[in-house]
Amino acid sequence: ATTLGASAAQTGRYFGTAVAANKLSDATYVGILNREFTMVTPENEMKWDATEPTQGQFTYANADRIVNHARANGMRVRGHALAWHSQQPGWAQNLSGTALRSAMVNHVTQVATYYRGKIYAWDVVNEAFADGGTGARRDSNLQRTGNDWIEVAFRAARAADPTAKLCYNDYNTDGQNAKSNAVYAMVQDFKARGVPIDCVGFQSHFNSASPVPADYQANLQRFANLGVDVQITELDIEGSGSAQADNYARVVRACLAVSRCIGITVWGIRDTDSWRASGTPLLFDGSGNKKPAYTATLDALNSG
Ligand code: G3I
């Protein structure tokens, strides 16, 4: 097939991108989006600061623009993110204890209810584990409400939207290390105790300091073996030319080799759309031209 989405669909997978609402008026951007992608993740518009800027007052206009565009063009939506230590509105940053816990549960419930039936998968909890060798939870105001905050968020999301897949999403968990071991243990525990979890997202932000791990496929596979889907949720890889292209192909091949790796999302369309202030980590250049990384990704999808 000749597009990322159609090529991924040959093996039953999706190929997605992060989308920013304020770029939906950019014809080049929308042209590539509609041609290439079958899944969309709002880059910022569903986060807590965007959807509940004042406690109890919900604003969905920007998120709705993305959801409506996706659905009108036959794309599905990954919701991102219901509970996260970052990008909280100021009022939530100033809460703690039971007040914060109640606010979090209400937020998860309200947003998941508002989008009930329209979201393929939710990143219910994002980035809850610490970097480094401890395997500990990340310290945050949410973590300080009690270690059960993650499972409470998953149960609230399930109750609000029983058909959405519920994911845990994180970075630096792409290979086997202390952080991914800790997430693995949590997922294993959730499955054993019946806490609703359907998928694990591997953000996969790669650069020279954090390259595509040698055991990427093995790590995806061990999570899949727990009985969850795995998804590559925020892929970008610093570099250029054939080296970058080879790395993208490696990521695609790893996913295709794991039957429960059901889709890949890149974190933006053109290099100029990337959250990385400088650099060229995506599949299209600033003018919207296909890069060698695009061709390598397409070819790898087609050989799957
Ligand atoms: O919307 C405001 C605007 O009103 C203001 O004038 C401007 C000035 O700074 O900031 C704008 O907000 C920015 C927002 O992006 C929208 O552009 C924030 O400052 C900026 O921090 C925010 O960055 C986002 C970042 O998450 C925040 O943590 C990136 O776009 C987004 O790509 C990035 O995505 C995260 C995932 O959610 C989770 N995993 C890591 C990934 C990369 O950091």
pLDDT tens digits along 161-176: 999 999 999 999 999 9
Whole-number Å distance, alpha carbon 234 to ligand 1 midpoint, is: 14
Pocket of ligand 1, candidates 66, 275, 276: which has the most ligand atoms within 8 Å of its Cβ, to mutate? 275
Q: CA 212 → CA 115, 126, 173, 257, 275, distances in Å?
A: 34, 21, 11, 15, 19
Overall average pLDDT of the 118-126 stretch: 99
Ligand 1 atom closest to 47 (CA)? 37
Q: Choose among 10, 80, 14: nearest CA to 261.
A: 14
Please name the residue whose Cα sits nearest to atom 34 of ligand 1: 43
3-class state of residue 46 by DSSP: coil
Overall average pLDDT of the 230-256 stretch: 98
Quote the CA–CA distance of 281 and 31 in Å, as a whole number: 20
Residues with CB under 6 A from ligand 1: 43-44, 86-87, 126, 171, 203, 234, 275
Ligand 1 atom closest to 126 (CA)? 38
- The pLDDT assigned to 45 comes to 99
pLDDT, tens only, 245-300: 999 999 999 999 999 999 999 999 999 999 998 899 999 999 999 999 999 999 99
Angle at 124 (CA atoms; ends 35, 192), nearest 5 degrees: 120
Pocket of ligand 1, candidates 17, 19, 44, 125: which has the most ligand atoms within 8 Å of its Cβ, to mutate? 44
Q: CA 157 → CA 44, 166, 282, distances in Å?
A: 19, 8, 31
Whether the full predicted model's pTM is greater than 0.90, yes or no, is yes
Ligand 1 atom closest to 203 (CA)? 39
Give me the active site residues, please: 234
* ipTM confidence: 0.94
Distance in angstroms between the alpha carbons of the first and the last residue of the chain? 12
